[in-house]
Structure 1
Amino acid sequence: MDLGDIDLNLLLLFQRLMQERRVSTVAEQMNMSQPGVSNALAKLRRKLGDPLFVRGPGGVVPTPFALRLADPVAQALATLHAALNPATGFDPLRATGTMTIGMTDIGEVVFLPALVERLAREAPGIALNTVRETGVNLSDEMADGRVDLAIGLLPQLKGGFYQRRLFDQRYVCLFRRGHALDDAPLTLAAWREAGHLVVVSAGTGHGQVDDWLKRRGVQRRVRLTVPHFMSVGYILQRTDLIATVPERLALQLAQPFSLSLRALPSTLPAAPIHLLWHARVQHDEGNRWLRGVVIDLFADAAKNTRATKGARANDDDLR
């Protein structure tokens, strides 16, 4: 198909429908009538030979062809918009609005306190919103522009995403102060025989701990299984259970819950924690500023040095 056969306004309408999924909302945004939107959509359907959107609960639902078309159209329009509107700079002190970050419950404990503190000082008009990767389709939400960044161990974010490695997360053993293991060597036998609290965190890569142990035939006495990390401190504080958790989470929990952390008797593979964003916001100045804040706060200095010396910096790594 020749590009001359496509009206740019039809592609803008297509992108708005992908984002909003409601004809009435798109009509209002584009200063059109609902019949006008329907007529324009019908024209685009004829041009592309696909229904593009069908009726669904509360709005319209894109067809598989429309989903395949969404990212290339969004990137092309973003590139054209950037070319026609040279950047005037992002001023965090004057910026207003809400930025949304996808992260795990671990991320909320490890990242949010420092991040909220920094934004209060440097961008007081920006509010933060977080979503759990298990509560939404994070890939679609980021592609549609409803989530700006994601932080964590998120292997499901693949094609169309840029990533920046922040650090490699080690795992440690965590238990209450005064536990029998507090003053004794943490041998593999002692670790195996202790009662374990195990977190099964669906949708994240932290399940690799259990996979790694199973592959090597390492058995644990699992006494309690929970679906998230938020209850770990409360449970360990009042029981003799131990837990194998990411080190940065353990450091955050140790003081408020009177817990001790020890190196594991057997080294588990470290978990690579990434900052991820969709290609559609690669050149967005507000998104770039927020990425810079996250990198400044949480990226290991050693990782930053290697990135600048390498053949290709991590923040240009398109997955």
Structure 2
Amino acid sequence: MELKDVDLNLLLVFHQLLMERRVSVVAEKLGLSQPAVSNALKRLRLLLGDELFQRTSKGMEPTPYANQLAEPIAYALSTIHSSLNDKQSFDPLTSNRKFTLGVTDIGEIYFLPRLMVLLATVAPNVTISSVRNTAVNLRDEMETGHVDLAIGLLPQLKAGFFQRRLFHQQYVCMFRAGHALDKAEMTVDEFCAADHVVVVAAGTGHADMDATIERKGIKRKVKLTVPHYVAVGHIIGSTDMITSVPERFARACVQPFKLRYVPHPVVRTPIDINVFWHAKYHRDPGNQWLRSLIFEHFSDQADAAA
């Protein structure tokens, strides 16, 4: 016998008859008519080749074969019921789940220090792993659940993904404290005359910033090109070069490297930094918790509340 040949409703009637022993009571419990229950029992007898129940003065008495089936069918129905009604939960205080975030190097510098301090209090056993957005096939890794959330300017994540904006930010020009340009604002001519460090962030939205400068016909004196932002604070802090970076990254660099920044004289359009998650994990309690935590502590609304 194949499972495709068995109507689950017949097993429900069988299980209820074992407990109640009366067709009228079973009909009431299951919301059926008595003829419907009798018809279900008839179909089950034909399917299993056994009478299953005999009418007696005490009600419907199970046959030996029905008693043999009683426990495994009860267990199977209980398992199905529990599975269908089991709502996943996530308790950050006791969970030891590992989350993986897809972020740029800027994201690691800006988000991870504060996030880890926060987790030490609210989720002490939760661990975080990060991967670079550009180092993996982010779409596939998020679909398979290998990456839980991605944060950044990621226009490639559209169909199949949810997103929520964390904040707007502007680009700024950053330099060491005491630099000749350390004043309230910078002119376009001063920008062009300065020596620049340029970060080539291929595959990220930050490449649009360089394209904007080129479209406006601005020629920079590029003295150094690097593939990531990790060393930028060290380099700018010990030279007279300047660089164009997102404002929140600049904020994170000011104190450790004794830097300053001013509004960008060329790139004025703000960018949106979003948190992304795959639709498959939209209702996953752990995913919901982490993205809510990030929004509560890193969004524009969080800054306004603070």
**What is the TM-score normalised by the length of structure 1?**
0.67
Structure 1 residue 266: Cα displacement: 3.4
Residue 223 in structure 1 maps to residue 223 in structure 2: yes
Measured in 1, the distance between the counterparts of 2:139 and 2:150 equals: 10
Runs (5+) with no aligned partner, structure 1 = 5-79, 306-319
Q: Which has the larger radius of gyration?
A: 2
CA RMSD of aligned residues (A): 2.3
Which amino acid in the other structure matches residue 217 of structure 2? G
Is the CA contact 1:167–1:303 (under 8 Å) kept in the aligned structure 2?
no
Give the aligned partner of residue 242 of structure 2. 242
Counting matched residue pairs gives 227
Give the aligned partner of residue 273 of structure 1. 273
Measured in 1, the distance between the counterparts of 2:143 and 2:304 equals: 27
Deviation string, structure 1 residues 60-119 (Cα, Å, up to 9, x no partner): xxxxxxxxxxxxxxxxxxxx9998244253211111121111000000011111111111
The residue matched to 1:198 in structure 2 has which SS? strand
Measured in 1, the distance between the counterparts of 2:124 and 2:244 equals: 37
Cα 1:184–1:121 shift into 2, 3 Å: closer
Give the aligned partner of residue 130 of structure 2. 130
Measured in 1, the distance between the counterparts of 2:215 and 2:185 equals: 25
Measured in 2, the distance between the counterparts of 1:161 and 1:152 equals: 14
Is the CA contact 1:166–1:303 (under 8 Å) kept in the aligned structure 2?
no
Runs (5+) with no aligned partner, structure 2 = 5-79
Give the aligned partner of residue 145 of structure 1. 145
Is the CA contact 2:195–2:241 (under 8 Å) kept in the aligned structure 1?
yes
Runs of 4+ off more than 6 Å: 80-83, 302-305
Measured in 2, the distance between the counterparts of 1:200 and 1:258 equals: 24
Measured in 2, the distance between the counterparts of 1:82 and 1:112 equals: 38
Deviation string, structure 1 residues 244-297 (Cα, Å, up to 9, x no partner): 100000010011111111112234211110000001100001100001000001
Measured in 2, the distance between the counterparts of 1:267 and 1:302 equals: 26
Is the CA contact 2:213–2:267 (under 8 Å) kept in the aligned structure 1?
no
Q: Greater CA deviation, 266-275 or 84-93?
A: 84-93
The residue matched to 1:174 in structure 2 has which SS? strand
Which amino acid in the other structure matches residue 125 of structure 1? N
Q: How does 1:80-159 map to 2 (within 5 A)?
A: 84-159=84-159
Measured in 2, the distance between the counterparts of 1:247 and 1:173 equals: 9
Measured in 2, the distance between the counterparts of 1:294 and 1:198 equals: 29
Which amino acid in the other structure matches residue 216 of structure 2? R
Q: How does 1:177-188 map to 2 (within 5 A)?
A: 177-183=177-183, 185-188=185-188
The residue matched to 1:147 in structure 2 has which SS? coil
Structure 1 residue 166: Cα displacement: 0.7
Is the CA contact 1:95–1:125 (under 8 Å) kept in the aligned structure 2?
yes
Residue 171 in structure 1 maps to residue 185 in structure 2: no
Structure 1 residue 241: Cα displacement: 0.5
Cα 1:191–1:108 shift into 2, 3 Å: same
Measured in 1, the distance between the counterparts of 2:184 and 2:145 equals: 51
Identity between Structure 1 and Structure 2 (%): 50
Which amino acid in the other structure matches residue 254 of structure 1? V
Is the CA contact 2:184–2:262 (under 8 Å) kept in the aligned structure 1?
no
Give the aligned partner of residue 189 of structure 1. 189
